[in-house]
Structure 1
Amino acid sequence: MTLRPLIGASLLVLAACASDGAPDRSASEPTGPGGSPVAERASAIHVNMTGYLPAGAKRATVVTDAATPLQWTLQDAAGAPVAQGQTVPFGADDASGQRVQILDFDTVDRTGEGFVLTAGGAHSEPFDIKPGLYGPLARDAMAFFYHQRASTPIQAAYVGSAWARPAAHAPDAATCYGPKDARGNDWGGCPYSLDVSKGWYDAGDHGKYVVNSGISTWTLLNYAERTGGGLPDGALRIPEAGNGMPDTLDEARWNLDFMLAMQVPDGTTLRLPRGNQYADQDSLDFDTVDASGMVHHKIGDEHWTGLPMPPHEDPETRYLSYPSTAATLDLAATAAQCARVFRGVDDAYADRCLSAARRAYAAAQRVPDVLAYDVTPGGSGPYGDADLTDEFTWAATELWLTTSEADYEEDMRASRTFLAVPGAAGPARDIGWGSVEGLASLSLLLGSDALPEADRDLLRQSVVSAGDALVAEAEREGYGVPFDRSYGWGSNGDMANRGIVLAYAYDLTGDERYRTAVLGIEDYLLGRNPLGFSYVAGYGENALRRPHHRFWMGATVEGLPLPPPGALAGGANKTSPADDVAREIADSCAPMTCYRDDERAYALNEVAINWNAPFAWITAFLAED
């Protein structure tokens, strides 16, 4: 696909004029001689339905078979023309399966609410242009985590009566499933129970997973470290507001407490399967190991619950899954990061985190090859990972940044992914719960003064190079999103994680191209996509209403709430159609259109902490300006 220009259409800003009565949305329809309609028409104009910043890039996508530019008009809420210009032909857009043109109204500086774009007979949904647009959305995206808290009542004083619910899984105490798993393997059980209260429910189910909450916690702490605390005390409506600690740290701590509680007590021996035995999980081989300091992979229900099932009504018995090296390294990494970020805010908590991180890292070195296996007949997701190289890199890096100790530095530098950045040339993959090497590099970027000058320069160059590559991808896409790759499970979260890399490229250079690419991601999530759909609940005329969630089912079940504002759906998924809805459409949908707002579609429409975390990160970044 050739690179097409996004900028260059002529733009004429008009003086607003008074208008009485209903807005006239036909004023800008193209006409030929004598006033007859021209043949060049559009079928849709897709915009960010929440709106645009006055000083930011303002782009829309026009769906049309026209090969020549179309005249467009921006109208205010009264229907009066504010600006006019011409679209830029793009042509066939593979990801959407459409032919499109780009509508660029960057130079419009008029502010207000209810603007509408018209071109080729089509009209956009209304949107705002105003400063401060992303502040409320950033707070709502972060409030998602309070809604997902376990072991505490969700109080109407903070979320409103619709979303209030009693405490669930309080306490959340369990032992390991077994001694035999659902396949008949004899694990031997665990000689203890653990109270692993607190934490966030992972997604639409009631499981709590160390690896997925690990990357989510890192994301919140990373934003806090980048900004000197994150959202300040009192910014969020949470019980801890007013305690003198930044609210971002309060929220991250709720999950850190859960992760710390998942650590195996000292002096514990367990039967665990070592090495990659995924090919024959019906007959696992076990070794007896010193599991002290390892971390249980997850806690969840014995069986899957149906829809609906509010968490405080969950009837299932809950069990710990056995420790895994991946979970152990995730705790080592996030607890080391905790020790660094909380230092000077709560030194006792920082000390507790560092002690746990050291124990976990030592345990992972002692038992480096225990993978995660499902042991119950259902009730929770597997989160299995056969390659732990990246987790070792991440943990060693966070520990070195916190302690400056040579052993951790040696392990960090020995990794093939040392200084690798997602999107740049090299081995780093897109950031995800199973590909965390990029987290190590972004943490190093914040602490780059600790690196020798050559390493520091290489890392910064790699981040800028990654930003350049992502900007180039955005320019090759008809919907302006830096995502020229397959659309899989959680594609919206993948995009948001790319936005974090772009934001760091902007931090390093001040180059607006990188910030514009982040805005492109936000535009896509909020409606500038081929479905004209806002994947963010509560934002836009046509927004998420039916997520796969056992409590937020108000669209179909009387007495339950709709999803709260700021909750992000997983998004289009062509490559991993795991549920019936996704499978039904997978063969016929273009990648960007493989989505349905349907609570049955867990592979398309589930919400999850690891998607909302980067979404909150990039939205807070955009709110900074």
Structure 2
Amino acid sequence: MNYKLITFLVFFVFCGALRLLAQPVIRINQLGYLPKAFKTAVLLSPEELIIDKFELYDKISGEKVYEASAEIADASLWGMQSAYRLDFSAFQEAGGFFIQAGATQSPSFHIGNDVYDGTADFVLNYMRQQRCGFNPFLNDSCHLHDGVIVDHPTRSGEQIDVTGGWHDASDYLQYLTTSANATYQMLFAYQQNPEAFGDKYQANGLAGANGIPDILDEARWGLEWLLKMNPAKDEMYNQIADDRDHRGYRLPNKDTVSYGLGKARPVYFVTGKPQGLGKHKNRSTGVASTAAKYASAFALGAQLFDDIDPQLAEVMHQKAEDAWTFALSDPGVFQTACMVSPYFYEEENYIDDMELAAASLYQLSGKDDYQQQARYWGALEPVTPWMALHRARHYQYYPFVNLGHALLAQSANESTSEQFLALMKQGLSHLKHFAGNDPFQLGIPFQWCSNNFVAGAATQARLYRQLSGDETFATLEAALVDWLLGCNPWGTSMICGLPEGGEYPEKPHSSITVLMHETTTGGLVDGPVYRSIYESLRGILLLEPDEYADFQNGKAVYHDDIGDYSSNEPTMDGTASLSFLFSSLEVEGQKDQNMSRVVKDSQGALVRMDTTSRKVYLIFSAHDYNDGGELIAKTLKKHNQKASFFFTGDFYENQDNQKLIARLMKDGHYLGAHSDKHLLYADWEKRDSLLVTREVFEKDLVANYHKMAELGIDPSEAPYFLAPYEWYNEAIVNWSKQLGLQVVNFTTGIRTNADYTTPDMKNYRSSERILNGLKSFENDQPAGLNGAVILIHLGTAAERTDKFYHHLDELLDFLTNKGYQPSRL
């Protein structure tokens, strides 16, 4: 046997694999870009690459639509030989595109005003998953015996009801520090952008509208826990459980960790002094950081719940003022407690908490003294320290963004507004300085929870731009947002499950993933850490080969691996901090959208147009059969009505069908895509299970459009796409959006789509039954058939002799007699 030859071949194959992996890449925001926003992609190359320009192409037509110069950046920061920023902000047309830079092509992406739609509500999935007490994700309850008071001068050992709130991360500790901040962040997001939030869940987190925006339901869950943790004036608790919790993977409703207190967990009293039940103590110096967090959350809660629950609002108003007085009585920080190890949240600044509390109380009460106090405390900490220092220990400077500055910048007092806008600008100037020539324009420190720094910085940049009108940091703001959604060295979103069908953390450090084999939907993971931090941590063991190995040679590392608790653990407060950012981006897009009352299904497909309009939309689809085509065309012509037709590529290229296609085009009907080969995209039983890859999907759909173009159908005039079998999932809808397309489907409850069934099928429906069902639907629905999409097949199998298209005359008469206007898409 020729071992030398085998060795050479193995080496050759290995080197070939390395070359295959280490190719230049273009990183993008996977959600897409708002048309008028700053839009940048980043090219990274492991080898020296000279790029002068890049081009933007329409994904469907292949037409070049934009060209610009490439901006060279410092590739060495991320262990690369070449890096370029590809700025296409000047291009503002909506659609689906890709970037070509030299021989490197980006993934397809969407430009449109709807790219952030639903994202603010999406992150609430993780907040509900983290609930303590009744957990709607598990449909079960946990920690119902919390808790037993510890470290109280007279009441240690007493039982107190503090069940509720959220678990902090993948452990089940609960901290006032992070929970109060998360509550405030959600309340603030709603205060600033109420129109961004929907109502699909009940107060207990289970599905079903209750007339209250879901974000307020979630914030109330936090507020009610805070009320339990602050049962009386000057009596506050800071924490439930401690690091004895860290006992391996388990679901919260199966938590068996014992603290020697029976079924209860310890509840730490706020003492204002160094705390810890064992040999390890924190470095607490006062109560202000904790008391002020209570005050700000209660103050904003009282303001927003005044109309919803006046009694609750009144209680919180008094609690806010009492907490403020308590904070003034003992200035200093109160840190989280540890026992097993000397690790805790090392919060060292309380001035920002005092500023936010006073500013929130001013908004609530209108008392000038509170605004004066807010200005006083705000001036003491002009810039959040981590922004100026470019470093921080774990939660040393918390919260990561000072919303007190933003509240004061919104003041009607011009002097106050100018003062705090200038301070916000000062902090952002530090970030811009530290970003330097980083390809991703990221001027944040890669400490533990770096994504929280990113979210905080993006929030400040966005608030500053909105309040001042100054766009000095607009590119910085966009870069921070893009980083979280895939424009980073690893090309992954940092939010589990977003976007569906994209690259995102699938294996976060979480018991949900280990035991239930699911990602923690909506959760923001900790994010990349400096290599030095990663290599110094104990207990990290990657469980799978690193899919991002080629991109781990820069200043920070990230792993989508259950074993990496430093970069891939989702956190509750980090997730909540996305509420304002995403709701603000969503509202920005809405301002430029036609916000008619359209209806989308749970997968994101458009299933009903404007429900206030008397228009109805007849759509016809075909792949194999065309027995009804001529009759349908004649009937529509007779009634002088327009409709929409969705055909597969196979149907378009079949010469027997092209006479009909030409007639439909001449008569002014909409002609769209139905896939090229009529592929089944998703499993019938498990809908979220894909049966095609993104590459196969895009190739097939683009082929469908190319065949349409050959017959004179302009792809730009066919933005609606009907999925084959009318079966798809959220990933398919998102992939379609990245091509500039909107998936459309029939209106739920209208069963005309059953016209394909044959008598031997269990679900067979006769044409008479189908028509009567449609009439009943029209009669029973409050909006009737307003905006309804009615699907009819162009032809059916020969076994069905009762063809529904023979009833098209009757259907059109019924619609027009009822005052509806049949229309095309």
TM bin (shorter chain): 0.7 to 0.9
User: Aligned pair in 2 of structure 1 residues 147, 424: CA closer, same or farther (>3 Å)?
Assistant: closer
User: Aligned pair in 2 of structure 1 residues 618, 582: CA closer, same or farther (>3 Å)?
Assistant: farther
- Please give the alpha-carbon distance, in whole angstroms, between the structure 2 residues aligned to 1:203 and 1:399: 30
Q: Report if the CA contact (8 A) 2:296-2:357 is conserved.
A: yes
Structure-to-structure mapping, 1:289-368, within 5 angstroms:
292-300=233-241, 303-317=244-258, 318-324=265-271, 325=287, 326-368=289-331
Q: Which amino acid aligns with 2:586?
A: A
SS of alignment partner, residue 176 of structure 1:
strand
User: Aligned pair in 2 of structure 1 residues 73, 367: CA closer, same or farther (>3 Å)?
Assistant: closer
SS of alignment partner, residue 258 of structure 1:
helix
Aligned to 1:8: none
2:402 aligned to 438, 448, 454, which one? Answer: 438
- Please give the alpha-carbon distance, in whole angstroms, between the structure 2 residues aligned to 1:495 and 1:609: 15
User: Aligned pair in 2 of structure 1 residues 502, 89: CA closer, same or farther (>3 Å)?
Assistant: closer
Aligned to 2:174: 208
- Please give the alpha-carbon distance, in whole angstroms, between the structure 1 residues aligned to 2:336 and 2:440: 40
Structure-to-structure mapping, 1:272-287, within 5 angstroms:
none
- Please give the alpha-carbon distance, in whole angstroms, between the structure 1 residues aligned to 2:38 and 2:234: 49
1:122 aligned to 100, 104, 116, which one? Answer: 104
TM normalised by structure 1 equals 0.75
Name the count of aligned residue pairs. 529
User: Aligned pair in 2 of structure 1 residues 105, 42: CA closer, same or farther (>3 Å)?
Assistant: farther
Q: Report if the CA contact (8 A) 2:147-2:163 is conserved.
A: no
- Please give the alpha-carbon distance, in whole angstroms, between the structure 2 residues aligned to 1:370 and 1:131: 43
Aligned to 2:340: 377
Describe the superposition over 1:80-125 as per-residue Cα deviations: whole angstroms up to 9, x where unpaired: 2433535424242454233301222334445444x43332322323
Aligned to 2:89: 106
SS of alignment partner, residue 331 of structure 1:
helix
Q: Report if the CA contact (8 A) 1:420-1:438 is conserved.
A: no
User: Aligned pair in 2 of structure 1 residues 193, 172: CA closer, same or farther (>3 Å)?
Assistant: same
Q: Which amino acid aligns with 2:139?
A: P
Aligned to 1:43: 24
Deviation at 1:518, TM superposition (A): 2.7
1:463 aligned to 414, 419, 424, which one? Answer: 424
Aligned to 2:455: 496
Q: Which amino acid aligns with 2:171?
A: D
Aligned to 2:523: 567
- Please give the alpha-carbon distance, in whole angstroms, between the structure 2 residues aligned to 1:561 and 1:403: 45
Aligned to 1:287: none
- Please give the alpha-carbon distance, in whole angstroms, between the structure 1 residues aligned to 2:494 and 2:236: 34
SS of alignment partner, residue 489 of structure 1:
coil
Q: Greater shift after overlay, 298-307 or 204-213?
A: 298-307
**Residue segments in structure 2 that go unaligned for 5+ positions in a row:** 1-21, 259-264, 272-286, 590-825
SS of alignment partner, residue 223 of structure 2:
helix
- Please give the alpha-carbon distance, in whole angstroms, between the structure 2 residues aligned to 1:373 and 1:426: 25
Deviation at 1:203, TM superposition (A): 1.0
User: Aligned pair in 2 of structure 1 residues 398, 136: CA closer, same or farther (>3 Å)?
Assistant: closer
Aligned to 2:351: 389
Q: Report if the CA contact (8 A) 2:132-2:166 is conserved.
A: yes
- Please give the alpha-carbon distance, in whole angstroms, between the structure 2 residues aligned to 1:425 and 1:611: 17
- Please give the alpha-carbon distance, in whole angstroms, between the structure 1 residues aligned to 2:468 and 2:368: 31
Q: RMSD value over aligned CA atoms? A: 3.6
- Please give the alpha-carbon distance, in whole angstroms, between the structure 1 residues aligned to 2:334 and 2:66: 59
User: Aligned pair in 2 of structure 1 residues 509, 177: CA closer, same or farther (>3 Å)?
Assistant: closer
1:234 aligns with 2:199: yes
Aligned to 1:148: 130
Structure-to-structure mapping, 1:147-226, within 5 angstroms:
147-154=129-136, 164-169=137-142, 171-177=144-150, 190=156, 192-226=158-192
SS of alignment partner, residue 241 of structure 2:
strand
Deviation at 1:417, TM superposition (A): 3.3
Aligned to 1:247: 214
Describe the superposition over 1:165-200 as per-residue Cα deviations: whole angstroms up to 9, x where unpaired: 132325252112479xxxxxxx77625322112211
Q: Which amino acid aligns with 2:83?
A: V
Describe the superposition over 1:379-400 as per-residue Cα deviations: whole angstroms up to 9, x where unpaired: x973243443333333333333
Q: Greater shift after overlay, 356-365 or 313-322?
A: 356-365
Describe the superposition over 1:357-388 as per-residue Cα deviations: whole angstroms up to 9, x where unpaired: 2222333334445733635437x973243443
Deviation at 1:128, TM superposition (A): 2.5
Deviation at 1:211, TM superposition (A): 0.5
**Residue segments in structure 1 that go unaligned for 5+ positions in a row:** 1-40, 155-163, 180-186, 266-291
Q: Which amino acid aligns with 2:352?
A: D
1:487 aligns with 2:446: yes
Deviation at 1:526, TM superposition (A): 1.5
Percentage of pairs with the same residue:
22
SS of alignment partner, residue 220 of structure 1:
helix
1:530 aligned to 470, 485, 489, which one? Answer: 489
Describe the superposition over 1:506-556 as per-residue Cα deviations: whole angstroms up to 9, x where unpaired: 212445554443332221112111122221222263321111222233xxx
Describe the superposition over 1:188-239 as per-residue Cα deviations: whole angstroms up to 9, x where unpaired: 7625322112211111111111001111111111122223x36445266844
Q: Report if the CA contact (8 A) 1:87-1:101 is conserved.
A: no
Which structure's CA Rg is the greater one? 2
SS of alignment partner, residue 621 of structure 1:
helix
- Please give the alpha-carbon distance, in whole angstroms, between the structure 2 residues aligned to 1:347 and 1:523: 40
Q: Which amino acid aligns with 1:126?
A: S
Q: Which amino acid aligns with 2:405?
A: S
- Please give the alpha-carbon distance, in whole angstroms, between the structure 2 residues aligned to 1:218 and 1:261: 17
Deviation at 1:405, TM superposition (A): 4.0
SS of alignment partner, residue 201 of structure 1:
coil
SS of alignment partner, residue 478 of structure 1:
coil
Q: Report if the CA contact (8 A) 2:74-2:437 is conserved.
A: no
SS of alignment partner, residue 552 of structure 1:
helix
Q: Greater shift after overlay, 62-71 or 336-345?
A: 62-71
Q: Report if the CA contact (8 A) 2:100-2:106 is conserved.
A: yes
Aligned to 1:596: 559
Aligned to 2:683: none
1:551 aligns with 2:520: no
Q: Report if the CA contact (8 A) 2:73-2:437 is conserved.
A: no
SS of alignment partner, residue 518 of structure 2:
coil
SS of alignment partner, residue 62 of structure 1:
strand
Deviation at 1:445, TM superposition (A): 2.8
Deviation at 1:299, TM superposition (A): 0.6
Q: Which has the higher contact order (CA 8 A, sep 6+)?
A: 1
| More helix as a share of residues | 2
Q: Which amino acid aligns with 1:333?
A: S
Aligned to 1:263: 230
Q: Report if the CA contact (8 A) 1:73-1:119 is conserved.
A: yes
Deviation at 1:413, TM superposition (A): 4.4
Q: Report if the CA contact (8 A) 1:296-1:328 is conserved.
A: no
1:63 aligned to 44, 47, 51, which one? Answer: 44
User: Aligned pair in 2 of structure 1 residues 44, 323: CA closer, same or farther (>3 Å)?
Assistant: same
- Please give the alpha-carbon distance, in whole angstroms, between the structure 2 residues aligned to 1:79 and 1:580: 52
Q: Report if the CA contact (8 A) 2:200-2:209 is conserved.
A: no
- Please give the alpha-carbon distance, in whole angstroms, between the structure 2 residues aligned to 1:419 and 1:368: 15
User: Aligned pair in 2 of structure 1 residues 581, 597: CA closer, same or farther (>3 Å)?
Assistant: farther
User: Aligned pair in 2 of structure 1 residues 484, 373: CA closer, same or farther (>3 Å)?
Assistant: closer
Deviation at 1:297, TM superposition (A): 1.2
User: Aligned pair in 2 of structure 1 residues 509, 407: CA closer, same or farther (>3 Å)?
Assistant: closer
User: Aligned pair in 2 of structure 1 residues 341, 433: CA closer, same or farther (>3 Å)?
Assistant: farther
